[in-house]
């Protein structure tokens, strides 16, 4: 008992030091954990940040490639090995990629397709705006809007025959407009 009384102050200081070390360690571990990036185990959230783009035409290695949201056309061209005899003036390298996007790089002897209409007046129904769709003979504002809305609701057209599913377009109209449209 005499020892306890003799070293009472020393023991109190020793226990206070141990307690303060533990408290400091606990506080620092909470600060570190709050600054850490939380990784998700949900595969769907990671997968939803991946997009796939099909690169075709005058590139070294055409094919489908995986990208992250926010990547640009420049990255897609580089991933496909770069241009190969391409008309580079036709490609907007700064455009942001989107899932299921198709990049068609024209050869150096092909003309550029500006927006949804090429130099020959042919309208790309997968890229044209409502106003550009109105350039198709016998397509007015209502049908143009219907073509656009169908594309927005159902995805890109894979065949011009899908236009038959658009309100106001029947076989006769499709036959008349086919020379003026492309995919």
Radius of gyration of the chain measured on its C-alpha atoms = 31
Residue with tokens 């890229």: 127
- The domain ranges of the chain are 2-33, 46-105, 114-182
> How confident is the model at residue 89, as a pLDDT?
81
Q: Is the pLDDT of residue 102 over 60?
A: yes
> How confident is the model at residue 51, as a pLDDT?
93
Minimal CA–CA distance to 145: which of 134, 136, 161, 155? 134
Residue 117 or residue 110, greater confidence: 110
Residue 53 or residue 5, greater confidence: 53
Q: Is the pLDDT of residue 48 over 70?
A: no
For domain 114-182, give the CATH number: 1.10.150.320
How much is the pTM?
0.43
Residues 6+ away with beta carbon under 8 Å from 79: 55, 65, 67
> How confident is the model at residue 33, as a pLDDT?
45
Residue 21 or residue 34, greater confidence: 21
Q: Would you say the C-alpha torsion 148, 161, 180, 107 has a positive or negative sign?
A: positive
Q: Would you say the C-alpha torsion 20, 26, 32, 35 has a positive or negative sign?
A: negative
Minimal CA–CA distance to 77: which of 99, 61, 98? 61
Q: Are the CB atoms for 87 and 69 separated by under 8 Å?
A: no
């Amino acid at each position: 008992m005499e020892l306890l009384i003799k070293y009472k102050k020393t023991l109190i200081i020793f226990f206070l030091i141990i307690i303060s070390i533990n408290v400091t360690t606990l506080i620092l571990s909470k600060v570190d954990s709050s600054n850490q990036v939380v990784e998700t185990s949900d595969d769907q959230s990671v997968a939803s940040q991946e997009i796939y783009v099909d690169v075709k035409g005058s590139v070294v290695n055409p094919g489908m490639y995986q990208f992250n949201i926010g990547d640009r056309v420049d990255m897609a061209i580089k991933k496909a090995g770069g241009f190969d005899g391409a008309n580079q003036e036709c490609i907007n390298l700064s455009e942001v990629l989107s899932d299921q996007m198709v990049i068609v790089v024209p050869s150096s002897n092909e003309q550029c397709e500006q927006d949804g209409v090429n130099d020959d007046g042919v309208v790309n129904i997968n890229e044209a705006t409502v106003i550009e769709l109105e350039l198709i003979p016998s397509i007015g504002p209502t049908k143009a809007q219907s073509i656009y809305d169908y594309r927005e609701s159902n995805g890109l057209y894979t065949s011009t025959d899908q236009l038959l599913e658009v309100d106001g377009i029947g076989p006769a109209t499709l036959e008349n407009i086919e020379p003026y449209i492309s995919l």
